[in-house]
Every structure is written in structure tokens, then in C-alpha cells.
Structure 1
Amino acid sequence: MNTWQSYIKEYQIYLRLERGLSKNTIENYTFDIEKLVSFLVQKDIQVSPIHISEEVMQQFIYEMASKVNPRSQSRLISGLKSFFNFLIFEDYRKETPLELIEVPKTGRKLPDTLATSEIDALIAAIDLSTPEGERNKAMLETLYSCGLRVSELITLKISDLFFEEGFVKVTGKGNKQRFVPVGDSTIKYVATYVNQIRAHIAVQKGFEDTLFLNRRGKQLSRAMIFTIIKNLASSINLNKTISPHTFRHSFATHLLENGADLRSIQLMLGHESITTTEVYMHLDRKHLAQVLHQFHPRK
């Protein structure tokens, strides 16, 4: 299957250079193709990406359908479509072998949203008698106040804080930078953490500018943030599936509910396209109905 590897390598270069995608995203795209390659090896089907037929692709998709949920299946198909479209773009193929394959209808599954009172309860459950507690409070306030991705939170730098101006500089997907407004209370919690807690940590080499540190003076892992949030949720018996992303999702939802426009939300979230932000429009039909009754001249 060496022929596959050379095309995959070329595709990865295209994703990185032409589309400016992050290492993580490129790995996800590649993972979809690797699944197809291992299927071909398993079934002893010797065929290159240039000559693979619709029949073989259908066989693969049907097999995957019995193993993964519609959402994963839909993501797999769109990942493979992207690969074959690249091969067409580079004149390796004339058409895609996925032409007749339908993407399963998944409905847009959105993570649970937290009410403001639930966010307050989670943050209030933090034990502030420990240095980690002070740090966790500052982190969760930042996560919710700025609508950050977990990767953006853990890589936040002290030099990214423009508190005088009321902004934080965030480095998002594909190294794209954006400025996000930050509220006064969050500024206060972060400043307290930096001056009273972080100042007493022996910072490891290379992490001098990293804002949130673990006990060993290094950057926190994504898994650590998940654990902190899961533990807080169980301590207040919150029966919702939550993760760091829930805070980002709640940030956008609460802004929308309070009348913010989608374009502003898009800029704050760092979404490449407004269509990604439009997912939030599907959220709260009830809220939209209230807006209509409140503001429409012919209510």
C-alpha cells in the first residue's frame, strides 16, 4: 500500500501549506484515509487511490456503518471526500468514487449548554483554600468569559494579556490570532492568581510566559482541564455531560440569547466561517420567538 502513502503525504502537505490547517486537524483527516487503507489490506484488495472504484468505497462505508455511529460515519465520509477532491484537483482522477454515497442525517448534535446559575454553581464549588483552587477559578472564569477552546486556554501566555485595554490575545486553530474582550471580574481573578499563586511556583524552563501552570511549573494538559471540570460537576451533582467546550458553547449561547449578533460572536470564537457560528441559531427557537413578539411591529 505504498502508493497510498505517497498520495497521503502529498495531501498532508497540501492541507498544511495551502489550507493552513493545524497538525491535529491534518492527523484527523489522515486517520480517515488510514481506516480505508487498513480495510483494503484486510480484504486483500490491491488498488491505488487513483483506481479505487465506487463499489469498493460503498463496501467500505457499509462496513464502517456497522461499527460507528452516524455522526462519525458522516465525518469519515466528508474526510474521504476532501481527499478525493484533492486528487481531482491535482488531475490524478477525473471523478470521485464517493459520488453516490449519501452522508447519514445526524442532526446537529450540540453539547449541553449550562445556565448562568449552573456556571456560578460550578465555580462556587471550587475549593479556594488551595493554590490550585485559585488557579482553577481563574481558568474557568477565563474559559467562560472569553469563550476559549481548551487548547487556547492552556497555551495562553502572560504576554497575551492586554488588561489595560481589556483584551486577551488568543492563538487559535492554524495559528490564527484574535483579540477577545475580557470582563473586569475575570481580569481581577487572573491578576490575583498571577500575583499571589503563580509568583510562588518554581517555573520550569520554557514555561516562563505560560499563564496557567501545574504544580511542577509546567503547562497544564487538556486532560487535566477535563478532570477539573468533571470533578466539579460531580461535586454539585450536575447531571449533564460537560467538558471544557461546554463553557465555550455556553458563552456563545448566552451572548446570542442576550441579543449579540452572529458576526460579533463569530469574531470572538475565532470561527473561520459564519456557518460554523450559525449552529447556535438552531439552539433556542423559543428565544427567537420571544424576540419576534417583543420587537416585531405587527406582533
Structure 2
Amino acid sequence: MEWDVAKKDFKRYLQLERNLSSNSIDAYLNDVHKLEAYCSYRTISLTQVDTKIVQQFLVFINDFPISPFTQARLLSGLKTFFSFLQIEYEWEKNPAELLESPRLSRKIPSVLHLREIDALIEAIDLSTNEGTRNKTMLEVLYGCGLRVSELVGLKISNLYLDVEFIKVEGKGNKERLIPIGKQAIKYLEIYLKEVRPMLPLKPGFGDFVFLNRRGAPLSRVMVFLIIKDLAKKIGLTKPISPHTFRHSFASHLVEGGADLRAVQDMLGHESITTTEIYTHIDKDYLQSVITQYHPRS
């Protein structure tokens, strides 16, 4: 079997059966391409790849300055590739199956205090159409816990404001319904009624909620720059990005006593383990435990 044939079929499998996004598919294929390049250098065919070869490849990769997370993702990609070959071509075994990924430390995400979110939103100049758009955008970003890609891809046809829900398309083109609060609904209705009709509209983009001044959907980079400028304006020095609002959304829900499964559904996490990180950042609760139970408090 040739590498090119296997990669072509693997790509089709990821597209049609796994329904992954183009970015995820590119990442998987890039993992396989790295192994292919290594094997080509050593004149090893695809059918000759065994566990020892994969181990040697991982040792080789480890000499490069890549993080444990990247190494773990690479190994996961190879396991998926060889698992596909087992299913599609009846390979006897997966040569990467028993290899262990490097241990990964779980970083606690940075979150914003409610007063910091209020300060950021209040710093927006509402005398301009762009200001009203930006305020609406941040209210939706924080109020629904969206990924930035979900925010810029939000469609008018997926707004169900009368029943206080929106529908978004997340990773792997998976759709989910998310409740939307009255504050975000209020500014969405103002923006859609009074501001968006004043903006130019490029053909093909009529259903997108958030447009730039040229009538095309906002880019992820533009959202990042808008937030960075607001942080600079109020003197906020902590690291901040669109994803910080998503972290803050989840953290504030958990702190308020929300069910973790409900938060998982709203965030679109496949595993509850990913959502559990937010149980570790309720500082007020942890402080109260220390105060109440530690003998030196």
C-alpha cells in the first residue's frame, strides 16, 4: 500500500464518517505526513511500519523543540490513522496503540471578574455603529460562552430570540442550542434593527450577524484586536483574548452553582473532563473552605 493512497482514503474517512472540520483534518494529515517523511528518509514502506518504528519516530521528533501537548496530539493522530487502516484495509494491529502519550499538566485558564467584563463593555463608544456592534458582540460572546469561530459564524437564521436560544455550529460542524440571556437579546435586537441595516452587504453574507465596515463577516483576528484595544483602554494587564470570555462564562456559571453537565452541553465539550477544570477556579469558595476549616485561619 502506498502512502498517498492511504492518506487520500484517510482524508475521505475524516470528512465523511468523522465529520471533522477542515482544520482538524489538516492536523491529522500533517501528523501522518511527518511519519511518512521520517519513513521515506529511512526507506521504510508503510506496510513495514511497526511499533518499534513508531517509537523511533517519536524519539526523533522529541529532539525538536515541540511541547508535550504537541507530541501527545501527534501520537493521537497516528493512532487514529492506523486504527482507520485496521478498519479499512484489515491491518492486523495498530502499531501505535500501546504507546503512551507524555503526561500533560492541566493549566487553569485565566478568567475575568464580572467587574472587569463590565469595565470592558462600558469602555465601548456607543455613539458609532461599530461601537454598538462591538457591545452586542461582547454581550453574546460572554452571555453564551461561544468560541470566537462560532461568534463570527453566527447566522441570523439561527437566532431564536423569542424563545431565548441560539444555534451555533461548533467543532466538527456539530450544532448545539445555547440559551441566551435578556441582556444579550436586548442589544442583539437593537443592533439588528438599527445598525446592521446601515452597513454595506457583500453578496453571499446576508445571513451573518456580525459584519465589518465592508459588509463581510468579522474575522477572528478582528475580534481579538477589538478586545485587546478595549483592555488597553481600561488598563487591564492580564492576558486576554476572545476565549477568555468563554472561560469566564463557564467559571461564573460553575461558581454560581450550575450543573456541570449543563455547562458541558452549553460549551460543546465532548468530555466532562474538559469542563471539570472550571471547578478548580472558584477562588472565593476555596478561600471560604480554608477560613472555615484550617486551624491556622
TM-score over 0.5 (shorter chain): yes
Instruction: For residue 26 of structure 1, give the secondary structure of its aligned residue in structure 2.
Output: helix
Is the CA contact (8 Å cut-off) linking 2:108 and 2:280 kept in structure 1?
Answer: no
Q: Please tell me the residue identity of whatever aligns with 1:76.
A: L
User: What does 1:182-201 align with in structure 2 at a 5 Å threshold?
Assistant: 182-201=180-199
Equivalent residue, structure 1, for 2:206: 208
TM-score (normalizing by structure 2): 0.88
C-alpha distance in 2 between matches for 1:115 and 1:39: 48
Task: Could you tell me which runs of 5 or more consecutive residues in structure 2 were left unpaired when the two chains were aligned.
Answer: 293-297
Equivalent residue, structure 2, for 1:297: none
Q: Please tell me the residue identity of whatever aligns with 1:116.
A: L
- Displacement of 1:26 in angstroms is 1.4
User: What does 1:152-231 align with in structure 2 at a 5 Å threshold?
Assistant: 152-231=150-229
Instruction: For residue 117 of structure 1, give the secondary structure of its aligned residue in structure 2.
Output: helix
C-alpha distance in 2 between matches for 1:170 and 1:69: 31
Equivalent residue, structure 2, for 1:48: 45
Say if 1:74 and 1:23 are closer, same or farther in 2 by CA, change over 3 A: same
TM-score (normalizing by structure 1): 0.88
Equivalent residue, structure 2, for 1:96: 94
Say if 1:12 and 1:293 are closer, same or farther in 2 by CA, change over 3 A: farther
Identity of aligned residues (%): 52
Equivalent residue, structure 1, for 2:21: 22
C-alpha distance in 2 between matches for 1:208 and 1:137: 21
Q: Could you say what the CA RMSD is over the residues aligned between the two structures, in angstroms?
A: 2.4
The answer to whether residue 73 in structure 2 is matched with residue 72 in structure 1 is no
User: What does 1:1-299 align with in structure 2 at a 5 Å threshold?
Assistant: 3-41=2-40, 44-65=41-62, 66-99=64-97, 101-284=99-282, 287=285
C-alpha distance in 2 between matches for 1:54 and 1:132: 56
The answer to which of 123-132 and 25-34 deviates more is: 123-132
Q: Please tell me the residue identity of whatever aligns with 2:34.
A: K
Is the CA contact (8 Å cut-off) linking 2:123 and 2:233 kept in structure 1?
Answer: yes
C-alpha distance in 1 between matches for 2:54 and 2:221: 36
C-alpha distance in 1 between matches for 2:166 and 2:146: 10
Say if 1:267 and 1:85 are closer, same or farther in 2 by CA, change over 3 A: same
Is the CA contact (8 Å cut-off) linking 1:50 and 1:92 kept in structure 2?
Answer: no
Instruction: For residue 162 of structure 2, give the secondary structure of its aligned residue in structure 1.
Output: coil
Say if 1:230 and 1:88 are closer, same or farther in 2 by CA, change over 3 A: same
The answer to which of 18-27 and 255-264 deviates more is: 18-27
Say if 1:199 and 1:242 are closer, same or farther in 2 by CA, change over 3 A: same
C-alpha distance in 2 between matches for 1:13 and 1:289: 51
Say if 1:114 and 1:82 are closer, same or farther in 2 by CA, change over 3 A: same
The answer to which of 55-64 and 277-286 deviates more is: 277-286
C-alpha distance in 2 between matches for 1:136 and 1:39: 48
Q: Please tell me the residue identity of whatever aligns with 1:172.
A: G
Instruction: For residue 47 of structure 2, give the secondary structure of its aligned residue in structure 1.
Output: coil
Say if 1:278 and 1:200 are closer, same or farther in 2 by CA, change over 3 A: same
| Count of equivalent residues | 291
- Displacement of 1:241 in angstroms is 2.4
Equivalent residue, structure 1, for 2:295: none
